[in-house]
Structure 1
Amino acid sequence: MKYEWRKAEKQIYLPKKIEIQTIPNYKFISLSGHGNPNSAHFSEQISALYILSYALRMKLKKGELGEPFEYTVYPLEGVWTSEKDPGDGPLNKDELIYQIMIRQPDRLTEEDFLAVVEPTFKKKQNPYIKDAKFIEYEEGRIIQTTHLGPYDDEAATFAKMHEFMEKEQLHSTTTMGQYIHREIYLSDPRKIEPAKQKTVLRYKLK
């Protein structure tokens, strides 16, 4: 039976309200960068992550890495670092620092990942394929909710999250005065109009 994260992990990826969760250790393929996410190189980085994720998915489906396992590729995620909190209004996109990633099944190893990098690069010729890293990360205690609408309207949803945190006496983490948040993209912006886009928004809590 095909593993569907939307059905099996609703509590992680499909929050219906503002809620607190604890996110365990997961494995990801990741790329980092700096600047506007509307740029061509950012799109190329996203493409590289999906190319590698689908290459690994095919190997698992064919049983080349143990018992055959079929699953839906996980959604794209982005960790964004900015000089101001996203709840305070539009961010300067040109100054953003980001780490984008796609989660991988627990059974995959770094060795599995490294084995597909070179043949996948030879086939697809995306330069960012060779820059991708296989990482493990435990996010821990977070606050999250689902934002419905364009990315540029996220500030209003973040503001509601701040109201919730203030009421519950919660505080999000910062690093050297920089604000950090995570976005999980449940919708493909190429296939759905902005008003119907769904994005999970998260803060990591202290």
Structure 2
Amino acid sequence: MKQEWRKQEKAIYLPKNKPERVQIPAFNFYVIDGAGNPNSEAFAEVVGQLYALSYAIRMSPKKNRAPQGYQDYTVYPLEGIWDLNEKGRANHDGSFDKDDLVYRLMIRQPDFVTKDYALEVIEWLKKEKPNPLLEQVKFESIEDGDCIQMLHLGPYDDEPASFEQMEAFAEGQGLKRASKIHREIYLSDARKVEPAKLKTVLRFWLEA
């Protein structure tokens, strides 16, 4: 049976557009760290490289390179953990320049992808489709743990309103947001979907 995250992992990737508390276990990701405006060409190149790696694994059976335990699946969505640099954090009025953003972009990989195999795929791409960004790619296990999440509908610039709802929900349960660092999961392709129809999972961590 094909592994499809939209059908089999709805609790993680397709929440309702209202806050909820969730426990997110550890998953394996290809990760590239970066900084700067997400509307830049440099950001787009990072996204492209993560997808190149992910589809290299997805299509590996066609090149007789499939890992042990390979199962047909749908490539997972792009995700990002977002923070601000020191300059951005100094703006206490809540505003910030997008050039001050710091990010960890990532795409989750299926459980059958081991670290050794993931690193092999990086080496294949270095030979077949060389790109300096491949030197920056990491393969990591990341556990979000105890979080609040919700589905945000609409433009990315309107996300603060959703985060306010999430923070109010947490406070109503006697919980507190650990920091302004947060995760976004992109269910829509911003190149093809108009801003008003974008769907993004927003998630932040809770204090222990």
Q: CA deviation at 1:99?
A: 0.5
1:173 match: secondary structure: strand
* Pairs within 5 Å for 1:1-206: 1-16=1-16, 17-59=18-60, 64-82=66-84, 83=88, 90-174=95-179, 179-206=180-207
Looking at structure 1, the residues matched to 21 and 188 of structure 2 have their Cα atoms a distance apart, in angstroms, of 22
- Give structure 1 stretches of 5+ with no counterpart: none
1:56 match: secondary structure: helix
Partner AA of 2:151 in structure 1 = T
Q: CA deviation at 1:125?
A: 2.8
Which stretches of structure 1, 4 residues or longer, exceed 3 Å deviation after superposition?
Answer: 60-63, 88-91
TM-score, reference length from structure 2? 0.89
Aligned length: 199
RMSD: 1.7
2:50 match: secondary structure: helix
Identity across the alignment (%): 53
TM-score, reference length from structure 1? 0.90
2:185 match: secondary structure: strand
Partner AA of 1:33 in structure 2 = G
2:193 match: secondary structure: coil
Q: CA deviation at 1:165?
A: 1.6
Distance 1:60 1:165, change over 3 A: farther
- Give structure 2 stretches of 5+ with no counterpart: none
Partner AA of 2:7 in structure 1 = K
